[in-house]
């Protein structure tokens, strides 16, 4: 689970993580703690969409027009934002809506950005994603597919970039996820309850230590946290230099084909995740063990469900991997 989250921070194009597991296994805690590790990015000052001053793909229309006209825009560095999407959110709050205050006071139509605008170039986290309303799922699917959010209401027509890392968590007992939404998540992590008594005691002790003195608890992990932050920052800058051999690409696609994975998303995500892992380890070439580490998480949720199958889909992927890579 932690590795999937880190790889998505290194390469946001992997397409997010779906974390499924028993209740009380620290899924939400882990995702929310990711905020401390997020690197800084450049944004145009005062822009509600966190526009990138260098990349037209994640620029709001007004910013793009100003840059094409040769205007110099003030630039800030800020931390990547993490936006929580509550289950009870309305569609207006998610997509953005007409600014009523401006309409009444100034008599003009103006757009008030929603959560998708805030999440552009950041992380959108949905806890209990399998309980999310269908109409919100449709909105998320639309934005996640195109990278843009289009709002058409009350005579307003506006599009803005909405490229975010989609992170969802949920408990499989509370209901399955719609297959088309599941396919949108780049990686899938399965979390089980720890069975080892010693480890359980250690977790309980750490938790009570945190409750007694949160500040002291954070200080005790500060050095490790900073080391990981630097590792992520260097991996992000190093990512574009990482190569993956052609025969490894062929083998990845062979695994996907033999497992009857629908579409090509599985191949693309596995390639990206393997490169991100190599960058995290500080190497410029992908090794077969990198692929072995990430491939179950990239493909397990893309396999066709067989109701009579008792074996875990992650194990099926690993078996096929060793068969092809041997």
Output the average pLDDT for the chain: 87
Q: Does residue 295 lie in a domain region?
A: yes
**Which CATH number covers residue 315?**
1.10.8.80
Are 173 and 318 found together in one domain? no
Are 249 and 260 found together in one domain? yes
Instruction: Look at residues 224, 239, 254 and tell me which one is the last residue of a structural domain.
Output: 239
Are 6 and 138 found together in one domain? yes
**Portion of the chain with pLDDT greater than 90, in percent:** 36
Are 89 and 159 found together in one domain? yes
The answer to whether the CB of 56 falls within 8 A of the CB of 64 is yes
Q: Does residue 296 lie in a domain region?
A: yes
Are 169 and 99 found together in one domain? yes
Q: Does residue 75 lie in a domain region?
A: no
Report the helix count and the strand count for the chain, using DSSP H and E. 15, 11
265-317 residue pLDDT tens: 899 999 999 999 999 999 989 999 999 999 999 998 888 776 655 567 778 88
Q: pLDDT at residue 12 above 70? A: yes
Are 29 and 1 found together in one domain? yes
Q: pLDDT at residue 177 above 70? A: yes
pLDDT at 285: 93
- From the CA atom positions of the chain, what is the Rg in Å? 21
Instruction: Look at residues 132, 167, 191 and tell me which one is the last residue of a structural domain.
Output: 191
pLDDT at 107: 73
The answer to whether the CB of 68 falls within 8 A of the CB of 123 is no
Are 248 and 235 found together in one domain? no
**Portion of the chain with pLDDT greater than 70, in percent:** 98
Give me the helices (H) in the chain, please.
2-10, 27-33, 61-68, 91-95, 100-105, 115-118, 134-146, 179-182, 197-212, 214-220, 222-238, 246-258, 265-280, 288-299, 313-325
Q: Does residue 70 lie in a domain region?
A: no
Q: What is the pTM of this model?
A: 0.88
User: In the structure, what pLDDT confidence band is assigned to residue 247 with cuts at 50, 70 and 90?
Assistant: very high
Phi-psi region of 155 (alpha: psi -120 to 50; beta: other; left: phi over 0): left
Are 234 and 248 found together in one domain? no
Residues forming the active site:
265
Q: pLDDT at residue 225 above 70? A: yes
Are 143 and 258 found together in one domain? no
Q: Does residue 306 lie in a domain region?
A: yes
Residue 91, both tokens: 């569609």
Domain tally, the chain: 3
In this structure, the dihedral spanned by the alpha carbons of residues 101, 104, 109 and 112, taken in order and rounded to 10 degrees, is 10
Q: Does residue 23 lie in a domain region?
A: yes
Q: How far is CA 197 from CA 2, 86, 117, in A?
A: 22, 34, 45
User: In the structure, what pLDDT confidence band is assigned to residue 147 with cuts at 50, 70 and 90?
Assistant: confident
Q: Does residue 44 lie in a domain region?
A: no
85-130 residue pLDDT tens: 888 888 888 888 877 777 778 777 777 888 998 888 888 999 888 8
Rounded to the nearest 5 percent, the helix, strand and coil shares of the chain are 55, 15, 30
118-128 residue pLDDT tens: 888 888 999 88
How much is the average pLDDT of 73-77? Answer: 87
How much is the average pLDDT of 215-219? Answer: 93
**Which CATH number covers residue 142?**
3.40.50.300
Helix/strand/coil for 78: strand
Q: pLDDT at residue 42 above 80? A: yes
What domain range includes position 251? 242-325
Q: Does residue 317 lie in a domain region?
A: yes
Are 232 and 103 found together in one domain? no
Are 102 and 217 found together in one domain? no
Instruction: Look at residues 191, 221, 255 and tell me which one is the last residue of a structural domain.
Output: 191
CA angle 307, 174, 168 (to 5 degrees): 100
Length of the chain: 326
Higher pLDDT, 164 or 305: 164
């Amino acid at each position: 689970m932690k590795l999937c989250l880190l790889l998505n921070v290194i390469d946001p194009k992997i397409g997010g993580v779906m974390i499924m597991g028993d209740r009380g296994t620290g899924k939400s805690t882990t995702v929310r703690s990711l905020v401390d590790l997020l690197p800084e990015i450049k944004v145009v000052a005062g822009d509600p969409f966190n526009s990138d001053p260098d990349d037209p793909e994640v620029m709001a229309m007004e910013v793009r027009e100003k840059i094409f006209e040769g205007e110099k825009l003030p630039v800030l560095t800020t931390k990547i934002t993490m936006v929580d999407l509550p289950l009870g959110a309305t569609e207006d709050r998610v997509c953005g809506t007409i600014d009523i205050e401006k309409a009444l006071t100034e008599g003009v139509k103006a757009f008030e950005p929603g959560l998708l605008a805030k999440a552009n170039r950041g992380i959108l986290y949905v806890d209990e994603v399998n309980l999310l309303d269908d109409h919100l799922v449709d909105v998320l699917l639309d934005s996640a597919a195109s990278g843009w959010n289009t709002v058409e209401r009350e005579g307003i027509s506006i599009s803005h970039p909405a490229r975010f890392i989609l992170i969802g968590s949920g408990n499989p007992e509370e209901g399955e996820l719609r297959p088309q939404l599941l396919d949108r998540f780049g990686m899938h992590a399965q979390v089980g309850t720890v069975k080892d008594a010693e480890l359980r005691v250690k977790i309980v002790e750490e938790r009570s230590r945190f409750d007694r003195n949160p500040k002291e608890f954070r200080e005790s992990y500060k050095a490790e946290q900073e080391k990981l932050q630097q590792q992520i920052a260097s991996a992000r800058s190093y990512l574009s230099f990482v190569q993956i051999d052609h025969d490894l690409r062929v083998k990845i696609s062979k695994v996907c084909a033999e497992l009857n994975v629908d579409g090509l998303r599985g191949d693309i995500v596995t390639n990206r995740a393997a490169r991100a892992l190599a960058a995290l380890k500080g190497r410029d070439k992908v090794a077969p063990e990198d692929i072995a580490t990430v491939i179950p998480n990239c493909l397990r949720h893309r396999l066709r469900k067989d109701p009579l199958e008792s074996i875990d889909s992650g194990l099926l992927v690993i078996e096929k991997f060793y068969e092809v890579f041997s």
